[in-house]
Amino acid sequence: MSVEATVERVLRLLALLQRRPSWTAAELAAELGVTDRSVRRDVERLRAVGYPVHATAGVGGGYQLGAGTRLPPLLLDDEEAIATAVSLRLASGGTVAGAGDAALRALAKLDQVMPPRLRAEVRAVHGATETLVAGIEIDAELLVTLARACRDAVRVRFRYSSRGSEDLERTVEPVRMVATNRRWYLMAWDLDRDDWRTFRLDRMREVTATTWRFRPREHPDPVAYVQRSVSAAPYRYLAKVRLRASAEEVRDLVPPQVGRVEEDRDGWCLLVAGGDQLDWLAVHVARLGYEAEILEPPQLREAAARLAERVAAMAGEPQTPTGRLPGAD
């Protein structure tokens, strides 16, 4: 058998091992059209280039692809290669410190080994795409520290600066990190407050994962909890407004970090959003373009009335400095 045929068979074996958790030697031999002995040789070839293929003897045993100590070559089909390249392109303009350079290096390596037809497709996507990043850059080491703490269920200690207050030391039991298009947040159980809290990663300092393990608690959905926290809790005013539109329509206009949208009755939905200025809230509700009913706070109705007067004045007939219309006696 030629070297090319052997390489092709080994690559097919790798693809099979990636497809499902475990295979028997007989199953692999049948799929590849070879003997069990050839399967064992091909497994050794994969191990030689860095793929940790585990073998289990006995009834129910077989071969399984495991996690290795070094990164071996990747085998990607067309869709996976394009998806990976596009993801790396987006990551190159992301909010994780250092990730942009690493993503560009990985993209350059992937570009080298791509077939010309795939390379052309990926470059077409790149050429037609721009990224707009307005978020705050986060240190990659901080992300790794918190990710490991979430995975291993160990407490984390750090200093945290909230708006208008000095840094305070906090000890938490982390659950999950949630990323919006602008910021990263950590949802955790705050031991000092004895309650769930969200923390902005860009406000965390001197982050240390302790050796104190904790038993995970029952917790709210991290995404929903962070959304409620970032769209309401930090602000002076919390607005609740009914809109004559479906929740899906309004969610297309209101990012999750700005407001929470819930289905209501009779073709209406409920928008919950926070803000420090009532005029700002009134403007943003008005610009959505839907019939609206302000539920709370009452001051927002007053701000909406002032906005309506100003808009009406802007749309009125132009006047001279004396208040008379041009051409009047």
pLDDT for 79 equals 81
CA distance 153 to 136: 27
User: Are the CB atoms for 224 and 163 separated by under 8 Å?
Assistant: no
Give backbone dihedrals phi and psi of 326, rounded to 5 degrees, phi first.
Answer: -55, 135
**In the chain, pLDDT over 90 holds for what percent of residues?**
25
Average pLDDT, the chain: 82
pLDDT tens, position by position, 274-287? 888 889 889 989 98
Name the strand (E) or helix (H) holding 154.
strand 154-160
The 8 Å CB, 24+ separation contacts for 4-9 are: 6/42, 6/45, 9/34, 9/38, 9/42
Better-scored residue on pLDDT, 163 or 239: 239
pLDDT for 266 equals 85
Question: Largest Cα–Cα distance in the chain?
Answer: 108
Residues in the chain: 329
Whether the pLDDT of residue 224 is over 50: the answer is yes
Whether the pLDDT of residue 73 is over 70: the answer is no
pLDDT for 328 equals 46
Three-state DSSP at 86 gives helix
pLDDT band at 2 (very low <50, low <70, confident <90, very high): low
**In the chain, pLDDT over 70 holds for what percent of residues?**
82
pLDDT band at 171 (very low <50, low <70, confident <90, very high): very high
Q: How far is CA 275 from CA 5, 287, 297, in A?
A: 65, 16, 11
Whether the pLDDT of residue 325 is over 70: the answer is no
pLDDT for 139 equals 81
User: Are the CB atoms for 111 and 173 separated by under 8 Å?
Assistant: no
Mean pLDDT computed over 217-223: 91
pLDDT for 98 equals 65
Omega before 297 cis (within 30°)? yes
Q: Is the entire prediction scored with pTM above 0.85? A: no
Mean pLDDT computed over 1-14: 77
User: Are the CB atoms for 146 and 156 separated by under 8 Å?
Assistant: yes
